[in-house]
Amino acid sequence: MDVQLSRLKENPAKYFAMSNTADIIVTRRGKRLGRIICEEKAARLERLNAFDELIHCAKTAKSVPDETVYDADKENRLREKGLL
Protein backbone atom coordinates (compact mmCIF):
# COMPACT_ATOMS: atom_id res chain seq x y z
CA MET A 1 0.00 0.00 0.00
CA ASP A 2 1.31 3.47 -0.88
CA VAL A 3 0.85 6.45 1.42
CA GLN A 4 1.92 10.03 0.92
CA LEU A 5 4.34 11.42 3.47
CA SER A 6 1.92 14.20 4.40
CA ARG A 7 -0.79 11.62 5.25
CA LEU A 8 1.70 9.58 7.27
CA LYS A 9 2.55 12.69 9.29
CA GLU A 10 -1.13 13.25 10.08
CA ASN A 11 -1.68 9.81 11.62
CA PRO A 12 1.50 7.71 11.89
CA ALA A 13 0.00 5.21 14.37
CA LYS A 14 -2.63 4.20 11.81
CA TYR A 15 -0.01 3.29 9.21
CA PHE A 16 2.26 1.53 11.67
CA ALA A 17 -0.71 -0.59 12.75
CA MET A 18 -1.52 -1.31 9.10
CA SER A 19 2.07 -2.48 8.55
CA ASN A 20 1.25 -5.64 10.53
CA THR A 21 -0.78 -6.91 7.57
CA ALA A 22 0.86 -5.19 4.58
CA ASP A 23 4.00 -3.27 3.71
CA ILE A 24 3.48 0.50 3.64
CA ILE A 25 5.42 2.38 0.97
CA VAL A 26 5.93 6.05 1.83
CA THR A 27 6.00 8.43 -1.12
CA ARG A 28 6.52 12.13 -1.69
CA ARG A 29 5.49 13.69 -5.00
CA GLY A 30 5.11 10.21 -6.47
CA LYS A 31 8.64 9.08 -5.58
CA ARG A 32 9.29 6.30 -3.10
CA LEU A 33 10.99 7.38 0.11
CA GLY A 34 10.90 4.26 2.21
CA ARG A 35 8.95 1.31 3.50
CA ILE A 36 7.30 0.49 6.81
CA ILE A 37 7.20 -3.22 7.66
CA CYS A 38 6.21 -5.05 10.82
CA GLU A 39 8.93 -5.89 13.35
CA GLU A 40 8.51 -9.67 12.98
CA LYS A 41 9.06 -9.46 9.23
CA ALA A 42 12.08 -7.18 9.70
CA ALA A 43 13.63 -9.57 12.23
CA ARG A 44 13.05 -12.54 9.91
CA LEU A 45 14.66 -10.68 7.00
CA GLU A 46 17.66 -9.76 9.18
CA ARG A 47 18.14 -13.42 10.16
CA LEU A 48 17.92 -14.52 6.52
CA ASN A 49 20.43 -11.86 5.47
CA ALA A 50 22.82 -12.87 8.25
CA PHE A 51 22.54 -16.53 7.21
CA ASP A 52 23.14 -15.65 3.54
CA GLU A 53 26.20 -13.61 4.51
CA LEU A 54 27.54 -16.48 6.61
CA ILE A 55 27.11 -18.93 3.71
CA HIS A 56 28.81 -16.47 1.35
CA CYS A 57 31.77 -16.13 3.73
CA ALA A 58 32.05 -19.90 4.06
CA LYS A 59 32.02 -20.37 0.28
CA THR A 60 34.56 -17.64 -0.47
CA ALA A 61 37.00 -18.23 2.42
CA LYS A 62 40.37 -19.49 1.30
CA SER A 63 41.18 -23.01 2.36
CA VAL A 64 44.31 -23.25 4.48
CA PRO A 65 45.97 -26.67 4.82
CA ASP A 66 46.18 -27.85 8.40
CA GLU A 67 49.86 -28.44 9.11
CA THR A 68 49.30 -28.60 12.86
CA VAL A 69 48.18 -32.25 12.93
CA TYR A 70 50.94 -34.60 14.04
CA ASP A 71 51.63 -37.34 11.51
CA ALA A 72 54.01 -40.03 12.79
CA ASP A 73 54.35 -41.69 9.38
CA LYS A 74 55.32 -38.39 7.77
CA GLU A 75 57.90 -37.78 10.49
CA ASN A 76 59.41 -41.25 9.95
CA ARG A 77 59.66 -40.70 6.18
CA LEU A 78 61.37 -37.35 6.72
CA ARG A 79 63.82 -38.94 9.21
CA GLU A 80 64.65 -41.72 6.71
CA LYS A 81 65.47 -39.07 4.12
CA GLY A 82 67.58 -37.19 6.62
CA LEU A 83 65.39 -34.13 6.54
CA LEU A 84 64.73 -34.19 10.30
Per-residue model confidence as pLDDT tens for the chain (84 residues): 999 999 999 999 999 999 999 999 999 999 999 999 999 999 999 999 999 999 999 898 887 776 677 888 989 999 999 988
Give pLDDT, residue 63. Answer: 76
**CATH 3.30.70: does it fit domain 2-60?**
no
Give pLDDT, residue 70. Answer: 80
Give pLDDT, residue 84. Answer: 81
**C-alpha neighbours within 13 Å on the C-beta side of residue 13:** 0
Q: What is the pTM of this model?
A: 0.56
